[in-house]
Amino acid sequence: MASRVLTGAGTTILAADHITKAFTTPNGDPLPVLDDISFQLREGEIVALLGKSGSGKSTLLRCLAGLIAPSSGRALYKGEPVRIANPGVAMVFQSFALLPWLTVLQNVELGLEARAVPADQRRDRSLRAIDLIGLDGFESAYPKELSGGMRQRVGFARALVVEPDALFMDEPFSALDVLTAENLRTELLALWSRSDFPTRAMLIVTHNIEEAVLLADRLFVLSSNPGRIQAELTIDLPRPRDRRSPAFEALVDQVYGILTGREPTPEVEAPARPGPTDVPLPSATVGGMAGLLEILAAHDGREDLPDLAHELTFEVDDLLPLVDATTMLEFSTVDDADLELTDLGRVFVSADILRSKELFARQAREHAPLVRSIWNSLHATKDGTLNEGFFIDILRRGFTEDEAQHQLDIAIDWGRYGELYDYDANTGELTLDTGAPDVPVLST
Amino acid sequence: MAMRRQFPTRDVLRRPRLRPVDLLVGAAVFALLYGLLRLGLTLTAPFSPAHAPSKISTDPSQLPGYALRSLARMFIALGLSVAFTFVYGTAAARSRRAEKVLIPILDILQSVPILGFLSITVTAFIALFPHSILGLECASIFAIFTSQAWNMTFSFYHSLLTQPRELDEAARLMRLTKWERFWKLDVPSSMIGLVWNGMMSFGGGWFFLTASEAITVNKHSYALPGIGSYVATASAQSDLGRVLLAIGVMIVMVLAVNFLFWRPLVAWSERFRIETTEASEQPRSIMLDTLRRSHVPRLLGRPLQPVVTGLDRATRVFGIADRPLTPNVVRRRAGDAVFGVVVAIGVVIGAASALNYVQRTVGLDEFAHAFALGAVTFGRVLILLVASTLIWVPVGVKIGLSPRLARYAQPIVQVLASFPANFLFPFFAAFLIATGISLNVGGIVLMALGAQWYILFNTIAGAMSIPSDLREAMDNFGVRGWQRWRRLIIPGIFPAYVTGGITAAGGAWNASIIAEYVTYGHHTLVATGLGAYIAQATVNGEFAKILTGIVVMSIYVVGLNRIVWRRLYRLAEARYSL
């Protein structure tokens, strides 16, 4: 359990009260990103928000920080609704967000300057924060001169110097290399256990499952499109936590299981044949999928996902789209936290290139909604040609402009590989690939 | 790096396509010009020529003094441009409503021929300060200002819009005051673009300085003491020796300003680069190194510290740089509606009265006449573009592909681009008079004197940006000759070339106003064209014609930008960006 004993331990600092956030698609339709999220951040705890990309976890963090407004529901700080940037929150950013034209000391002092703290006090407090975070000697350096790990230390010092009630971290370690990240995490935990650590609660957004299990007292797993709280786990492993302990590994497996499991769609009945906007294509290339399946075959067709991620030094955001894609095309199945090669998958891996393409084409046409609808639409035209604008318009009903484009890019990649259709980047036209081995004779 | 070496920087020229709202904006500018004109006319007070000589002494001993006065005008204009940039750019980027009005206006202003303005502003400023030379000074400074401010403002505005999101969030969470945010985040993060565009616009400013120091408006000739009017007077006296002398002084001045001011500033601004990777080639400046080693910055900084602190404290009243997350929607909509209606009514009334003015004075047929003349000038611009492309693109590619050549050539071309072409006009005028060649043809050369350099300059930048491994691959596969041009070089330089082409074309339209109407000694050469039309109307004080001419020329420039250049620009971004 957290080794911190605070006088007000357990009192709520921040709360999400039925927060829903929807952005507007270019067509003017609302695009839900967060759906009815409620939880509390209490004094003395570390809470982790974990989810795939598209789960809106960063959006949720920004709602609570008062950087963006929820569409409905409220962010509460000490019981009061947050209307402007939350004064009780300091944030550590993935990209560090340091001002490159200020020295380390000036960067750290900036927040105090904004609070009109007198110059001498400002200097004292900043030097103390710099000391605490292990940056002494670097006061007059510019961020450019520092390594990534040292830059993020400046980020921490800058956040902690204002003694925020809550420290927010937006994937703070994901831009760092593995060793540096591990080092910084360990130090952060060591500081957290000290009585003079100048913050009372921490909220971290991450897509790294092990990181979440390592750091958090409570862990919220968010589902994707839109983000909902899928599971809440209380982690009471003693600190420091041992990554190799069976209890730790069991928890990691459990979270993997939650993340790869079928996402519950409680209200809406799943349509008989889901459309392109119901089931987005996972962001995976054909090459990536093939690579994953081959590795799986080399492991006798079955492998534990955390081990797989570890072996490939992949994080969830890298691995899960590939897993989702191969599962969508029925080349693999997920059982608990194990990925298993299907019979089709075995054929796909072992067949020659033409046969693989045929198989891929069939599966994509059958199970990837966007690929299917492109193929069908092209068949419905006389000359087998349609402009991409047609599909972008359809996709805009369910995606933002960028995401719609991204979805189409994936579908083009898949369709090209399967020789289902071709795309001309100059004219933006999609054309049926008449050279495809299994295209039936056109008939209208 | 390569991006930054183009002028203007790319985002300055990012344009929306031609929209109906452009008509409204066009009408607004029309109305605005008319308003200025009215102001100038109503204020016209008896003017005593004694205060403003029509020519100045061409005694060479006066030249250094003149040069310094000209330089002072340039720097005052630069200061005004910076101030304007900060205010206008911030307003446009931070206020949703202001943005809707300010940005389209800026967009059009950037395309309006500045020299056409001169007559209107000279009249207005003289009327404001009737008994002193101050009015002329103001008009000259204003002309330089208009040549610098737009690019800088666009650059600043785009920097504000593209500020990294996380820096914005960090600033808001730290609860910086508006003042602190402006100086700690907004200005520094825009610095590189601002300095680069400032430097290049400053170079362009010499041209307008020269054109504005000596001018004939409404049959009055005015001459401000300065190097530009020195050249004008020497030219009127057919004294080519003295013109040559002024050219020498001008070259020294351009080089000195570059060495003592801009190079150090460019090198210094490197510290404001946001990308955490270092630029491959750091701009260096001996001047800056010297300054950094000296105690001067610290000596200057110390007494200023309390001032800074005081200002930080005093500006706290403006509040913190954050906005409520949930604005009052009803009130906002109502505000938008009122704002829109007021603006629209103002524009319609203004444009209608301007139109009425033209109709009463010269008749609306004048527009047709001006459009026809515009077509002739457009022909010149076209020939100029093709010719400079054929000449300078091969040269620029040659230079850009050789790192050693490029290192020396680019600064030289930059100086050539800032050298005011109108200093060379007397020689060409003398040549044309001696040979009897018509200005209809010669005018093309005069227009090209200034405009061509942008094509060369940007071609060099484009060629430099072609990665060396691509070139090695082409060598490896034996791709050479025309095939190499078609497959590698032309696509590689295309984005930079388009930027250069837009700027060159804009410069050429502007230059037509002084290149199609040239006086030398007792001769006056006139070409058929819209530039000459505006120039003659200026000399004769026919304000309705000036207004018509400027509006028509703006329509040409804006129309071509939107219809032709924008397409090429988008193609460049989509297909040929490396």
pLDDT digits (tens, 9 = 90+) for A116-140: 888 899 999 999 999 989 898 999 9
Structural domain spans, chain A: 12-260, 286-349, 360-432
User: What are the angstrom distances between the C-alpha of A181 and each of A148, A202, B276?
Assistant: 10, 17, 19
φ/ψ of B395, rounded to 5, equals -65, -45
Chain B interface with A: residues with Cβ < 8 Å? 164, 166-167, 169-170, 172-177, 180, 184-185, 188, 191, 271-274, 276, 278, 309, 312-313, 316, 320, 322-326, 575
Conformation bin of residue A126: beta by default, left when phi > 0, alpha when psi is -120 to 50: alpha
DSSP states of B50-68: GGS-SS----GGGHHHHHH
Structure tokens at B251: 């070259």
Closest Cα in chain B, distance from residue A231 (Å): 29
- CA-based radius of gyration for chain A: 25
pLDDT at A436: 46
Do the strands A332-335 and A385-387 form a parallel or antiparallel pair, or are they unpaired? unpaired
φ/ψ of B327, rounded to 5, equals -70, 160
d(CA B274, CA A346): 49
pLDDT at A6: 54
Indicate the residue of B164, B173, B575 with minimum beta-carbon distance to A65: B173
Question: Which of these ranges, B4-13, B120-129, B433-442, B538-547, has the smallest mean pLDDT?
Answer: B4-13
Which CATH superfamily does the domain covering B25-299 fall into?
A: MetI-like (1.10.3720.10)
Cβ density class A257-293: b for 16+ within 10 Å, e for less:
bbbbeeeeeeeeeeeeeeebbebbbbbbebebbbebb
- E strand spans, A107-257: 166-170, 201-206, 218-222, 229-234
Conformation bin of residue A271: beta by default, left when phi > 0, alpha when psi is -120 to 50: beta
Mean pLDDT: which of A191-205, A251-265, B26-40, B284-298 is highest?
A191-205
User: What are the angstrom distances between the C-alpha of A430 and each of A384, A400, A415, B40, B402?
Assistant: 8, 21, 10, 60, 42
Question: Which of these ranges, B289-298, B323-332, B411-420, has the smallest mean pLDDT?
Answer: B289-298
Please say if the pLDDT value at position A45 is more than 90.
Answer: yes
Residues B276/B278/B280/B282 CA torsion (nearest 10 deg): 130
pLDDT at A75: 93
CATH number of this structure's domain B361-578: 1.10.3720.10
pLDDT at A7: 58
User: What are the angstrom distances between the C-alpha of B376 and each of B260, B507, B509, B527, B530?
Assistant: 43, 16, 11, 10, 7
CATH number of this structure's domain A286-349: 1.10.10.10
Which residue type, as a one-letter code, is found at position A377? S
Please provide the size of chain A in residues: 444
By CB neighbour count within 10 A (0-12 exposed, 13-18 middle, 19+ buried), where does A24 fall?
A: exposed
Looking at chain A, which residue has its C-alpha nearest residue B319? A114
Average pLDDT over residues A85-105: 91
Residues 6+ apart with CB under 8 A from A325: A281, A282, A284, A288, A289
Question: Which of these ranges, A189-193, A197-201, A216-220, A335-339, has the smallest mean pLDDT?
Answer: A335-339
pLDDT digits (tens, 9 = 90+) for A340-368: 999 999 999 998 888 999 999 999 999 99
φ/ψ of B503, rounded to 5, equals -65, -40
Closest Cα in chain B, distance from residue A91 (Å): 7
Please say if the pLDDT value at position B501 is more than 80.
Answer: yes
φ/ψ of A338, rounded to 5, equals -105, 140
A85 touches chain B (CB under 8 A): yes
Structure tokens at B406: 């490029």
Residues 6+ apart with CB under 8 A from A121: A112
Closest Cα in chain B, distance from residue A362 (Å): 33
Enter the ipTM: 0.75
A67 touches chain B (CB under 8 A): yes
pLDDT at A168: 95
Structure confidence at residue A3 as a pLDDT band (50, 70, 90)? very low
By CB neighbour count within 10 A (0-12 exposed, 13-18 middle, 19+ buried), where does A339 fall?
A: buried
Structure tokens at A275: 């459309």
The gap from C-alpha B357 to its chain's centroid, in whole angstroms, comes to 30
CATH 1.10.3720.10 domain span(s) along chain B? 25-299, 361-578
Indicate the residue of A84, A114, A143 with minimum beta-carbon distance to B177: A114
Interface test with B, best of A74, A113, A165, A405 (most B CBs within 10 A): A113
User: What are the angstrom distances between the C-alpha of B403 and each of B398, B466, B469?
Assistant: 10, 11, 14
pLDDT digits (tens, 9 = 90+) for A24-42: 776 677 788 899 999 999 9
pLDDT at B52: 56
pLDDT digits (tens, 9 = 90+) for A249-266: 999 989 988 888 755 444
Strand order in the sheet with A80-81: A30-42, A12-24, A72-77, A80-81
Average pLDDT over residues B274-286: 63
The gap from C-alpha B114 to its chain's centroid, in whole angstroms, comes to 9
User: What are the angstrom distances between the C-alpha of B242 and each of B57, B228, B245, B525?
Assistant: 11, 12, 5, 21
pLDDT at A269: 46
Please say if the pLDDT value at position A157 is more than 90.
Answer: yes
Fold of the CATH domain A12-260 = Rossmann fold (3.40.50)
Looking at chain B, which residue has its C-alpha nearest residue A95? B166
Please say if the pLDDT value at position A418 is more than 70.
Answer: yes
- CA-based radius of gyration for chain B: 25
Q: Are B528 and B373 in contact (CB under 8 A)?
A: yes
User: With pLDDT > 70 as the criterion, what percentage of chain B qualifies?
Assistant: 90
Question: Which of these ranges, A172-181, B55-64, B204-213, B428-437, has the smallest mean pLDDT?
Answer: B55-64
